[in-house]
Amino acid sequence: SQTIHQWPATLVQPVGSPLSLECTVEGTSNPNLYWYRQAAGRGLQLLFYSVGIGQISSEVPQNLSASRPQDRQFILSSKKLLLSDSGFYLCAWGNPLDTQYFGPGTRLTVL
Amino acid sequence: DAKTTQPPSMDCAEGRAANLPCNHSTISGNEYVYWYRQIHSQGPQYIIHGLKNNETNEMASLIITEDRKSSTLILPHATLRDTAVYYCIVRYISSGSARQLTFGSGTQLTVLP
């Protein structure tokens, strides 16, 4: 069966510091991969998606970036965090019919 | 993707069936009905999806009306751990492509002891 991992689970970072969140998927090949952000009490915002290694599509202009160095690895990064980057970051993988399955999430607080 | 309407909240007694309704009157013929839930502070969890036939899996049953304008998610024996926000989503499937999953406001289900 497929599993999706995210780490870290929680993170507190100062403004201006870098960020790296990692997501890995097991038990499937060539999945669609997604990064979403959920602000407190709000819906999901799609940040990036990827249909293959090295292929990244950005949905929202911002100071975040994503990379997919391996088939089942998706990384979300920032060179300098802003206060507005605080939120719940969710990685998801999609099967060939794009049913999406979410990871446990990373709660990021930028101070 | 078609718009959905769900009640903002519902209560259910533990051990009883929870029936969560969803209206999607503008659904088109190739759009599927999906259900997810999100337990507080966790990632959303896929529950079930269907096109026109009723569907059942180990978590729940999905009943879609014949005209497909509404559906009901049934949790047959609700437990306290089923307390969550339940989202009904209508979207078409485009094989091989990637698209955003858009969550509405959902229904807060509270299972009472």
pLDDT of residue B104: 87
Distance in angstroms (rounded) separating the CA atoms of residues B10 and A48: 34
Half-sphere exposure in the Cβ direction for A81 (13 Å, CA): 20
Distance in angstroms (rounded) separating the CA atoms of residues B25 and B36: 19
Element (H, E) at B70: strand B70-75
pLDDT of residue B84: 97
pLDDT of residue A105: 96
CB contacts, 8 Å: A21 with chain B: none
Contact of A32 with chain B, judged by CB distance below 8 Å, is answered with yes
pLDDT of residue B94: 74
Cβ-Cβ contacts under 8 Å for B66 (sequence gap 6 or more): none
Best CA proximity match to A99, nearest among B47, B59, B28: B47
pLDDT of residue A4: 97
Report the residue of chain B nearest A33, measured CA to CA: B98
Per-residue tens of pLDDT for chain B, all 113 residues: 779 999 999 999 999 999 999 999 999 988 999 999 999 989 999 999 999 989 999 999 999 999 999 999 999 999 999 999 999 999 988 776 778 888 888 999 999 99
CB contacts, 8 Å: A100 with chain B: 46, 101
Report the residue of chain B nearest A10, measured CA to CA: B41
Spell out which chain B residues touch chain A, with contact meaning CB-CB distance below 8 angstroms.
Answer: 34, 41-46, 49, 93-105
Of B43, B99, B102, the CB nearest to A98: B99
Best CA proximity match to A88, nearest among B79, B74, B104, B41: B41
Using 50 as the pLDDT threshold, list the residues of chain A that sit under it.
none
Distance in angstroms (rounded) separating the CA atoms of residues A53 and A74: 9
